[in-house]
Amino acid sequence: MRGRVLRRVAALLACVAAGVLGAAPAPGEASRPPLRVLQLNLCHSGFASCYTSRVIDVAAAVMRAHRPDVVTLNEICAGDVEALGAVLAWVFPGDTIVRAFEPAGDRRTGGPFACVNGEEYGIGLLARIAGPRRATVVDGGLYPDQDTNDPEERAWVCVHARGAYQACTTHLANTVPAVAFAQCRYLFGSAIPALHASAGYEPTVTAGDFNLPDRAQGCVPGDAYVRADDGSVQYVIATADHVLTATTPLDLQQATDHPGLLVSLALCSAAVRAAVARSCT
């Protein structure tokens, strides 16, 4: 844990040194392209009944076919972030691919939860940054609210890229809905606003397995966000300076127990509003 804290402090100090904590550009800045966000729950721990040995290859094929800018990964091992990060780098040669991983906690040991292969188990995020390299901040951690009867302690992680966007992922508790709801409230009410306050506001997208069928809307503040879902527990939730332009469930060939969820988002502009016949803030 100490190493991850030092990493985050160093990253934030680097951003301060680079002068990136000033006022953010307007949300509708035309130079920022649309985002394609791919949410994947890969069930790749090795200890869950939904585990298959095919899922990383299937995920890689989906990424090559659909070319997402952001890939959010749940139920993975630490090495999966590097493996799939290499795929995204192949899809977008020359662009920056930011990789982030946050392990789940293990209540029994006080350390990170482990996959069967011995690697740390948790959540990950891949963020493609087009154009010149940008200062980034990676932040994450464990939720203050956990199911004390479950040895797995749930986590969140975000990548903040100055002048581009902020992306986050999480995998909320699946044992007690009230705990998952409290974790969701913390993410949108505390963790994401704190990163905006410290690193500067950027249009933000959060995706993950919320384990909250029909309840996620109540844990997201008012009209501040728009969302898409897979009809079950996976969501892509974006700040309301976005509009949703497409939502596509993806068949993962029974390599895991969840479909993929691909969502396209555009920042608000007069042209975007006219194209989708919607207003946005």
What pTM, to 2 d.p., does this model score?
Answer: 0.86
List the pLDDT tens digit at each of the 281 positions of the chain: 434 433 343 333 333 233 232 333 344 344 577 899 999 999 999 999 999 999 999 999 999 999 999 999 999 999 999 999 999 999 999 999 999 999 999 999 999 999 999 999 999 999 999 977 889 999 999 999 999 999 999 999 999 999 999 999 999 999 999 999 999 999 999 999 999 999 999 999 999 999 998 767 688 887 889 999 999 999 999 999 999 999 999 999 999 999 999 999 999 864 554 555 455 65
Token duo for residue 1: 């844990």
Distance CA 141, CA 241 (A): 26
268: Cα separation from own chain's centroid: 21
276: Cα separation from own chain's centroid: 25
Tokens 């469930």: give the residue. 249
Tokens 């016949």: give the residue. 277
